[in-house]
């Protein structure tokens, strides 16, 4: 069992947990992910590491409730244990001094860019972070990002906080203003990463994305996570999760992300029916 | 005292058929197909054994079982004795009794094979192991404990488990590191429930743990800990992490939604128990018409699993002819009984999909057999302009595996060949680094459970020799 040491609700849908996993914490690097199972009958889900504490042997995960497993995970409390927790998986982010870099984060992707931004800053980069959400209430980890960035820009779709608009609008302006920027990381929902790559395409900048494919083992054994990169089939779990976003076949990637949608909906609906967390049905 | 049956009478008897679940019934469930011998059937079959003075069956057994001796114990109705006899050398009898290709091993060398009715050695082995499990008969624990000599084993498949058990019996302290959340390797993720019930794997792993072997799950060697780090802590290492990376055809359309590697398809169904979705959380998508590419045992497992999960049609697509099919005859027979349709001399060249990424068909070429190739089998050659489309909505690639480099990358000094498999001394199973041994699929490529068992045994012997002569990685 892997104990939940600390749990925090970051907003209505997003949770943060620190999990006791000393072996993983001792070697994990920014950009890598873990795979967890809540219980023996559970599924294996990959989550990018949001932070780690080597001294205390802890790994931080940040997740959004999007289905049965994530909702069930959100109901666990401090002191509860996870059935399985493996990692660190995937390749680490290539950290070096690039000069000025931009990190773009959306949704739980904000958590994923956190350790990357920190490492980039420690490596001497000028780190500009742009984080966005639909509105102020949905924004997460502002303080943490501020600490690890040279500059933090916030956008909200409705203008309730920071600049009104999308992260890509800010990104475009920054790239137009400063042509010395050579590297951008964009992590968030698939559509946001795709649009970010469209934004950066005209500029002489490399755009790294972190793909969140559906996986089973996460060690290169099954190929569930395969994706076409520059015309070649790659495994996100062992060749990634980070890739040059301009080479990703986004249509294929997004199709494969929803290939179990029907089953996932069914499983979530049954969970709601059976669990006591939702009392809306059948009560008149 | 056992009844002595005259040799003439023994020779007259036919092999006792294995009771099986009816095909039409079993395609709707995941329960085991062969049901196992009763005591009477086992004794009757065992009585057929001629108890040869120089038994040739044993040379076909990588697990080194004294076959005539355990069969004689069955004749004497001493099932416990038979079990303990098998357990002297085979640590996974209920498993090997089920999944060994006996017709290629022990039974091939049985003198009665000449009359086409060899002793059903595998069925007898299975009977004995099942009897022992039901009657709670256990092997003896080693009283000899060798302190201060630790062995790490990477991978808990048949090679790792066997090596661990053999070393534990000699008194060594053994720790197995398993990447997945359950021990057993291919026995739990690959082989379907209807051929090898997972409760049996769990039981035999427990028996090995009871010998003192420690099994640590959820540790990916090469990620959480390197082989180099293990070498600093353990006196010897056995690498048995399996081949483990799926091969694809590399044809257009292979990344469509409903294309699976056999590894993914079987892992979802077997390890994650997707066949029991939504009780288990892992989903699996099943089409109405499933095409499995390849004709090995894994292909048979995939095609038969697809049927059980609800596919109306399940095809095996194979580029050679029936004669070249590499799967066990028994597996092919079971698949045919269950209604799997074989399309021979057919080569897929493109998977066709709709705009949502769903599979709607597969374009293939007709093949014909030409001159023998380097494998000695006649080479399949495409017939020009023979393109045709087979209507399917899911595809499973079961064309083999290649080496997963994750462990090797963390093992300096341990050399691979050009395909990524570890280079070893065939006799001792030692790699190019003294004190590190390797066996199973990560050495030989996709092979059988029993060849992995054989590797595990040989490695255990070499490791014991290495350690007892003062060897240690820590030196």
Confidence band (pLDDT; 50, 70, 90) for B3? Answer: low
Instruction: Provide the token pair at A244.
Output: 């040059």
Query: How does A111-120 read in b/e, with b if 16+ C-beta sit within 10 Å?
Result: bbbbbbbbbb
Q: How many CB pairs under 8 A join A and B?
A: 118
Of B178, B278, B149, the residue nearest A264 (C-alpha): B278
Query: In this complex, do B263 and A238 lie within 8 Å of one another by their Cβ atoms?
Result: no
Of A166, A92, A94, A170, the residue nearest A125 (C-alpha): A94
Mean pLDDT score of chain A, rounded to an integer?
Answer: 94
Measured over the CA atoms of residue B258, residue B264, residue B270 and residue B271, the dihedral's sign is negative
Domain B150-244+403-468: top CATH class: alpha beta
**Partner residue facing B406 (CB), from A219, A222, A226:** A219
Residue A51 lies in a domain: yes
User: In CATH, what number does B7-22+32-134 get?
Assistant: 1.10.1060.10
Instruction: Provide the token pair at A130.
Output: 């742009």
At A167, which CATH number? 3.40.50.80
Q: What is the DSSP string of A4-42?
A: EEEEEE-SSSEEEEEEE-HHHHHH--TT-EEEEESSTTS
Helix axes B39-47, B121-134, angle to 10 degrees: 140
Q: Is beta strand A58-64 parallel, antiparallel or unpaired with respect to A14-20?
A: antiparallel
Of B340, B343, B302, the residue nearest B322 (C-alpha): B343
- d(C-alpha B234, C-alpha B436), whole Å: 10
Residue found by looking up tokens 């990424």 in the block: B357
Mean pLDDT score of chain B, rounded to an integer?
Answer: 94
Give first-to-last CA distance, chain B, whole Å.
Answer: 56
**Cβ B23 vs Cβ B338: under 8 Å:** yes
- d(C-alpha B323, C-alpha B332), whole Å: 12
pLDDT tens-digit profile of B184-213? 999 999 999 999 999 999 999 999 999 999
Nearest Cα of chain B lies from the Cα of A261 at a distance, in angstroms, of 10
Instruction: Provide the token pair at A227.
Output: 């994706």
Q: Which residues contact A204 (CB under 8 A, 6 or more apart)?
A: A179, A182
| Helix-, strand-, coil-residue percentages of chain A, each rounded to 5 | 30, 30, 40
Q: Do domains B7-22+32-134 and B150-244+403-468 have the same CATH topology?
A: no
Q: Between residues A229 and B143, which one has the greater pLDDT? A: A229
Predicted pLDDT at B5? 84
| A165 and A71, same domain (yes or no) | no
Measured over the CA atoms of residue B90, residue B95, residue B97 and residue B99, the dihedral's sign is negative
Chain A interface includes B468 (CB < 8 A): no
Residue B256, classed as helix, strand or coil, is coil
Query: In this complex, do B217 and A87 lie within 8 Å of one another by their Cβ atoms?
Result: no
| Helix-, strand-, coil-residue percentages of chain B, each rounded to 5 | 35, 15, 45
Instruction: Give the residue from A221, A261, A274 with the most B CB atoms within 10 Å of its CB, the best one to mutate.
Output: A221
**Partner residue facing B261 (CB), from A41, A68, A222:** A222
Query: In this complex, do B220 and A219 lie within 8 Å of one another by their Cβ atoms?
Result: yes
Kindly list the residues from chain B whose CB atom is less than 8 angstroms away from the CB atom of residue A224: 264
At A73, which CATH number? 2.40.30.10
Chain A interface includes B216 (CB < 8 A): no
Confidence band (pLDDT; 50, 70, 90) for A284? Answer: very low
Kindly list the residues from chain A whose CB atom is less than 8 angstroms away from the CB atom of residue B256: 255
**Cβ B370 vs Cβ B382: under 8 Å:** no
Predicted pLDDT at B360? 97
| A78 and A104, same domain (yes or no) | no
- DSSP category for residue B14: P
Show which of A187, A210, A233 is a domain's final residue: A210
Residue A25 lies in a domain: yes
Measured over the CA atoms of residue B371, residue B374, residue B377 and residue B382, the dihedral's sign is negative
Whether pLDDT at A274 is above 90: no
Chain A interface includes B254 (CB < 8 A): yes
Of B353, B364, B357, the residue nearest B390 (C-alpha): B364
Q: What is the extent of the structural domain holding A174?
A: 100-210
Q: What is the mean pLDDT of residues A157-174?
A: 93
**Cβ B454 vs Cβ B446: under 8 Å:** no
- d(C-alpha B405, C-alpha B203), whole Å: 31
**Cβ B238 vs Cβ B150: under 8 Å:** no
Q: What is the DSSP string of A232-250?
A: EEEEHHHH-SEEEGGGB-H
- d(C-alpha B291, C-alpha B393), whole Å: 8
Residue A132 lies in a domain: yes
Whether pLDDT at B400 is above 70: yes
Of A58, A48, A51, A83, the residue nearest A69 (C-alpha): A83
Is the omega angle on the peptide bond into residue B42 within 30 degrees of 0, that is, cis? no
| A202 and A104, same domain (yes or no) | yes
Which CATH number, 3.10.290.10, 3.50.50.60, 3.40.50.620, 3.30.70.1350, labels domain B246-400?
A: 3.50.50.60
Confidence band (pLDDT; 50, 70, 90) for A277? Answer: low
**Cβ B186 vs Cβ B158: under 8 Å:** yes
**Cβ A70 vs Cβ A38: under 8 Å:** no
Predicted pLDDT at B116? 87
Residue A282 lies in a domain: no
Q: What is the mean pLDDT of residues A134-151?
A: 93
Give the neighbor-by-neighbor strand order of the sheet with A183-187.
A163-164, A151-156, A126-133, A100-106, A183-187, A206-210, A242-244
Predicted pLDDT at A279? 47
Predicted pLDDT at A276? 61
The pTM of this model reads 0.95
Give ∠ CA B96-B97-B99 in degrees, rounded to 5: 60
Query: In this complex, do A256 and B257 lie within 8 Å of one another by their Cβ atoms?
Result: yes
pLDDT tens-digit profile of A40-99? 999 999 999 999 999 999 999 999 999 999 999 999 999 999 999 999 999 999 999 999
**Cβ B397 vs Cβ B247: under 8 Å:** yes
Predicted pLDDT at A262? 92
**Partner residue facing B283 (CB), from A85, A88, A264:** A264
| A173 and A148, same domain (yes or no) | yes
List B residues 29-68 in contact with A (Cβ-Cβ < 8 A): none
Domain boundaries, chain B: 7-22+32-134, 150-244+403-468, 246-400
Nearest Cα of chain A lies from the Cα of B338 at a distance, in angstroms, of 26
Give ∠ CA B86-B87-B92 in degrees, rounded to 5: 100
CB atoms within 10 A of CB B22: 9
Q: Which residue of A has its CA nearest to B223?
A: A88
- DSSP category for residue B159: H
Within B392-439, strands assigned E span 394-397, 401-403, 436-438
Residue A217 lies in a domain: no
Instruction: Provide the token pair at B251.
Output: 């044809």
Half-sphere exposure of residue B280, counting CA atoms within 13 Å on the CB side? 18
- d(C-alpha B43, C-alpha B47), whole Å: 6
pLDDT tens-digit profile of A171-214? 999 999 998 899 999 999 999 999 999 999 999 999 999 999 99
Of B86, B94, B36, the residue nearest B63 (C-alpha): B86
pLDDT tens-digit profile of B251-303? 999 999 999 999 999 999 999 999 999 999 999 999 899 999 999 999 999 99
**Partner residue facing B263 (CB), from A89, A222, A266:** A222
Query: In this complex, do A219 and B244 lie within 8 Å of one another by their Cβ atoms?
Result: yes
Query: In this complex, do A23 and B225 lie within 8 Å of one another by their Cβ atoms?
Result: yes
Query: In this complex, do A84 and B261 lie within 8 Å of one another by their Cβ atoms?
Result: no
Predicted pLDDT at A282? 42
Domain count, chain A: 2
List B residues 219-238 in contact with A (Cβ-Cβ < 8 A): 219-220, 223-225
**Cβ A48 vs Cβ A111: under 8 Å:** yes
Chain A interface includes B252 (CB < 8 A): no
| A58 and A136, same domain (yes or no) | no
| A72 and A153, same domain (yes or no) | no
Q: pLDDT over 90 for what percent of chain B?
A: 88
The answer to which of A139-148, B139-148, B164-173, B329-338 has the lowest mean pLDDT is B139-148
Length of chain B: 475
Q: pLDDT over 70 for what percent of chain A?
A: 97
Kindly list the residues from chain B whose CB atom is less than 8 angstroms away from the CB atom of residue A260: 283, 285
Whether pLDDT at B45 is above 80: yes
| A162 and A205, same domain (yes or no) | yes
Instruction: Provide the token pair at B93.
Output: 């009898």
Whether pLDDT at A9 is above 60: yes
């Amino acid at each position: 069992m892997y104990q939940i040491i600390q749990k925090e609700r970051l907003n209505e849908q997003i949770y943060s947990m620190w999990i006791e996993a000393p072996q993983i914490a001792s070697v994990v690097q920014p950009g890598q992910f873990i795979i967890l199972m809540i219980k023996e009958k559970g599924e294996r889900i990959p989550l990018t590491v949001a932070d780690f504490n080597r001294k205390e042997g802890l790994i931080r995960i940040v997740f959004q409730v999007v289905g049965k497993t994530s909702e069930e995970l959100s109901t666990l409390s401090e002191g509860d244990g996870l059935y399985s927790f493996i990692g660190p998986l995937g390749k680490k982010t290539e950290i070096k001094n690039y000069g000025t870099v931009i990190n773009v984060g959306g949704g739980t992707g904000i958590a994923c860019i956190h350790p990357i931004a920190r490492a980039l800053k420690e490596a001497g980069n000028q780190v500009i972070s742009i984080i966005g959400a639909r509105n102020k209430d949905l924004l997460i980890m502002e303080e943490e990002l501020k600490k690890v960035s040279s500059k933090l820009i916030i956008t909200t779709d409705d203008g309730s906080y920071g600049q009104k608009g999308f992260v890509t609008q800010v990104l475009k302006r920054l790239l137009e203003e400063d042509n010395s920027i050579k590297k951008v990381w964009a992590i968030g929902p698939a559509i946001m990463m795709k649009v970010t790559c469209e934004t950066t395409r005209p500029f002489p900048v490399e755009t790294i994305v972190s793909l969140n494919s559906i996986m089973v083992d996460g060690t290169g054994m099954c190929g569930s996570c395969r994706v076409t990169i520059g015309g070649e089939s790659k495994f996100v779990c062992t060749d990634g999760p980070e890739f040059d976003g301009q080479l990703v076949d986004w249509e294929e990637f997004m199709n494969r992300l929803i290939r179990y949608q029907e089953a996932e909906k069914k499983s979530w609906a049954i969970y709601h029916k059976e669990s006591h967390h939702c009392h809306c049905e059948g009560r008149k | 005292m056992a009844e002595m049956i005259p040799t003439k009478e023994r020779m007259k008897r036919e092999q006792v058929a294995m009771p099986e679940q009816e095909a039409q019934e079993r395609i709707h469930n995941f329960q085991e197909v062969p049901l196992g011998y009763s005591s009477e059937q086992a004794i009757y079959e065992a009585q057929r054994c001629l108890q040869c003075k120089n038994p040739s069956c044993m040379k076909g057994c990588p697990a080194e079982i004294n076959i005539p001796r355990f069969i004689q114990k069955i004749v004497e109705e001493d099932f416990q004795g038979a079990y303990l006899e098998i357990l002297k050398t085979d640590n996974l009898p209920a498993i090997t009794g089920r999944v060994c290709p006996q017709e290629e091993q022990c039974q091939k060398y049985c003198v009665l094979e000449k009359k086409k009715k060899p002793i059903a050695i595998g069925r007898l082995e299975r009977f004995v192991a099942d009897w022992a499990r039901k009657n709670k008969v256990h092997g003896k624990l080693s009283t000899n404990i060798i302190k201060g000599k630790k062995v790490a084993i990477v991978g808990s498949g048949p090679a790792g488990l066997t090596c661990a058990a053999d070393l534990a019996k000699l008194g060594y302290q053994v720790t197995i590191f398993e990447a997945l959340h359950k021990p057993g390797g291919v026995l739990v993720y690959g082989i379907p429930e209807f051929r090898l019930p997972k409760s049996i794997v769990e039981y035999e792993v427990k028996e090995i743990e009871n010998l003192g072997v420690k099994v640590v799950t959820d540790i990916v060697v090469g990620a959480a800990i390197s082989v180099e780090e293990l070498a600093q802590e353990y006196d010897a290492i056995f690498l048995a992490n399996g081949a483990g990376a799926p091969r694809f055809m590399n044809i257009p359309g292979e990344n469509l939604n409903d294309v699976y590697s056999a590894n993914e398809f079987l892992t979802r169904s077997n390890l994650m128990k997707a066949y029991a979705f939504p009780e288990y959380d892992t989903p699996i998508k099943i089409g109405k018409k499933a095409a499995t590419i390849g004709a090995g045992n894994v292909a048979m497992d995939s095609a038969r699993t697809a049927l059980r999960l609800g596919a109306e049609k399940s095809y095996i697509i194979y580029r050679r002819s029936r004669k070249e099919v590499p799967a066990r005859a028994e597996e092919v027979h079971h698949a045919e009984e269950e209604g799997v349709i074989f399309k021979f001399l057919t080569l897929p060249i493109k998977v066709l999909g709709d705009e949502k990424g769903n599979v709607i068909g597969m374009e293939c070429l007709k093949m014909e057999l030409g001159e023998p190739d380097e494998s000695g089998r006649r080479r399949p050659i495409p017939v020009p302009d023979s393109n045709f489309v087979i209507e399917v909505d899911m595809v499973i690639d079961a064309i083999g595996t290649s080496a997963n480099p994750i462990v090797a990358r963390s093992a300096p000094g341990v050399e691979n060949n050009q395909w990524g498999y570890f280079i070893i001394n065939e006799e001792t199973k030692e790699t190019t680094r003294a004190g590190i041994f390797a066996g199973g699929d990560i050495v030989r490529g996709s092979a059988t459970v029993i060849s992995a068992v054989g590797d595990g045994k040989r490695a255990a012997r070499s490791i014991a020799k290495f350690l007892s002569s003062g060897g240690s990685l820590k030196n």
